[in-house]
Amino acid sequence: MTIDATFWVAVSFIIFFGVLVYLKIPQKINEILNRLIFDIKNEIDESEKLRTEAKALLDNAQKKLDTTPSVSAELLEQAKKDSDNLTIELNDKFHKLSEIKKNLAENKISQMKEVAINEIKNTSIKIAVDSVKKIITTSVNKSKLDTLFQKNLDETKEELKKINS
């Protein structure tokens, strides 16, 4: 029997597989493949979970998007009502404030009128008294003035007696 190259290829092939089995290379390859399979399975599960969450979020967003026109209409209506109420309230406050200011102005005017009338009376009385003094001092002499004073004094006493009795 002759040993040719195919025999040595076969022997080297068997030795190669023997070394691989001895070094447990198939088990290590199997472990690596199992770990890769497990990682891929976890990624698939996680992507499925993310897909489910994304679908739920999409459905929720779609529901919100569908209800947006009615919600915006309600908000606009409520804002309109609030602005109308605020306008009415501010208008009422303005009218009340203007009424109060009007009353204060009228009171101030009447007080100023009374003060002016009193000043006019006091000034006219002062002018009248000064005029009478001047007239009496220039036109009546002292004896006529004394008789006039005595006469007025007597009349005043009689009037007081009538009032007291």
Residue range 77-103, pLDDT digits in tens: 999 999 999 999 999 999 999 999 999
* Per-residue DSSP letter, 24: T
Residue 71 lies in a domain: yes
pTM equals 0.38
The structure tokens listed for 77 are 């209506």
pLDDT at 136: 66
The structure tokens listed for 138 are 């220039």
Instruction: Give 145's contacts (C-beta < 8 A, 6+ positions apart).
Output: 136
Residue 159 lies in a domain: no
In angstroms, the CA 97 to CA 91 distance is: 10
With vertex at residue 139, the alpha carbon angle to CA 138 and CA 140, rounded to the nearest 5 degrees, is 105
Residue 160 lies in a domain: no
Residue 58 lies in a domain: yes
Residue 131 lies in a domain: yes
Residue 147 lies in a domain: no
Residue 165 lies in a domain: no
Residue 157 lies in a domain: no
Give how many domains the chain has, as a whole number.
1
- 120 lies in which domain range? 5-139
pLDDT digits over 16-58, tens only? 888 888 888 888 889 999 999 999 999 999 999 999 999 999 9
In angstroms, the CA 110 to CA 121 distance is: 16
Give the alpha-carbon dihedral of 64, 65, 71, 76, to 10 degrees. Answer: 140
pLDDT digits over 62-83, tens only? 988 888 888 888 889 999 999 9
